[in-house]
Amino acid sequence: MTAAAESLLRADTVDAFYGQARILFSVSLEVHRGEVVALLGRNGAGKSTTLKSLMGLVRPRGGKVQFAGRRIDGAAPYAICRQGLGYVPEERRVFADLTVEENLEVGRRPRREDAPHWTPERLYALFPNLGRMRGRRGGEMSGGEQQMLTIARTLMGNPRAVLLDEPSEGLAPVIVDQMAEAIRELKREGLTLLISEQNLRFAAAITDRAYILEKGQICYENSMAGLLADEPARREYLAV
């Protein structure tokens, strides 16, 4: 198997519940090292729950999750993070009373041999908006700036892979374009990403492959080019 085809993150028949309500039904997906993969679906399809199940924030009741060849289902989120899987929640959750620089320091972790190495200066180059507001508190930033800061803080952990939950949600078009370019740069750096999205146009600009969730089940898998050419699938699973 070539490095490009090496499986870094894999879910096999994962079931997840909130209380007695079953949300995920035997979800299986795979992300290869260096890939950017989209997890698409309508609102409420189970995309965020899938990412939380991979990260250990929701503990799967069935199936297994593997990261870098090791099982991580059942592990605590902090232990999964230490293995090199980063997570950017939809809610952003910046530290409102800390400055940009201080938020980044919170995320700092030692360098990893098999992952891109990030410093504040490299992240300011990736997100120029942050470089212009290093001393600004997180609570004084716009939604788009907070989204950039949350991603940058996660990258300070030097992860092997990152789970991004709805990175374009609620952002102005110009910020969405900046976000897309930043994600393309992360791919060029060799970072692996699994991105939950509703915005097909945004996902098409940055991802290699796509899975579609419908009512907690994977109902479609294809290359992004294949999905863009498959109008019946887009109409059935993604049209609002």
Q: Map out the domains of the chain with their CATH numbers.
A: 3-238 (3.40.50.300)
Quick one: which of 74, 31, 33, 80 has its CA closest to 55?
Answer: 80
Work out the angle at residue 138's Cα, subtended by the Cα atoms of residues 103 and 194, and round it to the nearest 5 degrees.
65
Is 60 exceeded by the pLDDT of residue 2? no
pLDDT digits (tens, 9 = 90+) for 107-132: 999 999 889 999 999 999 999 999 99
Is 90 exceeded by the pLDDT of residue 151? yes
Kindly indicate the confidence band of residue 240, based on its pLDDT and cuts at 50, 70 and 90: low
**pLDDT value, residue 1:** 39
- Cα separation, 146 vs 98, whole angstroms: 12
- Cα separation, 186 vs 192, whole angstroms: 8
Is 50 exceeded by the pLDDT of residue 3? no
- Cα separation, 222 vs 211, whole angstroms: 7
pLDDT digits (tens, 9 = 90+) for 38-64: 999 999 999 999 999 999 999 999 999
Strand ranges inside 91-150, DSSP E: none
* Order of strands, sheet of 21-32, starting from the edge strand that comes earlier in the sequence: 21-32, 7-18, 62-67, 70-71
Q: Which residues pair with 217 in a beta bridge?
A: 214
Residue with tokens 């360098």: 111
Phi, psi of 99 (to 5 degrees): -75, 170
First-residue to last-residue Cα distance in the chain: 40
pTM of the model: 0.93
Helices (H), 10-127: 47-55, 77-82, 100-106, 120-126
- Residue 170's SS3 state is coil
Is beta strand 7-18 parallel, antiparallel or unpaired with respect to 21-32? antiparallel
Kindly indicate the confidence band of residue 171, based on its pLDDT and cuts at 50, 70 and 90: confident
- Cα separation, 107 vs 82, whole angstroms: 11
Work out the angle at residue 211's Cα, subtended by the Cα atoms of residues 85 and 194, and round it to the nearest 5 degrees.
20
pLDDT digits (tens, 9 = 90+) for 14-45: 999 999 999 999 999 999 999 999 999 999 99
Contact 140, 107 (CB under 8 A): no
